[in-house]
Amino acid sequence: MAMDPAIVRLGNMNTNRYRYFRWTPRTAWISFVYIAVVPTIFGVMAYATDGKYDLRAKRKGDIISEF
């Protein structure tokens, strides 16, 4: 069975992706968002809700918020 040249080319591109990567303003911005902005948002959300919810030993009808 013959291999499809487009699939072979795609496979080679995926294994050698690091060779074709270039820093552009777009890739720098995306990297900054995933490295700094997203963890900051999750950290702020975690800090704001720290201790607010208690999920241990709750029964049906009990509320989960502590305050």
Element (H, E) at 13: helix 5-15
Q: In this model, does residue 65 exceed pLDDT 80? A: no
Tokens, residue 5: 């040249």
What lies within 8 Å, CB to CB, of 20 at 6+ separation is 13
State pLDDT tens for residues 39-64: 999 999 999 988 888 777 778 888 87
Domain boundaries, the chain: 5-48
CA 46 to centroid of chain Cα atoms: 16
Q: Who wins on pLDDT, 66 or 3?
A: 3
Pair 67, 49: CB distance under 8 Å: no
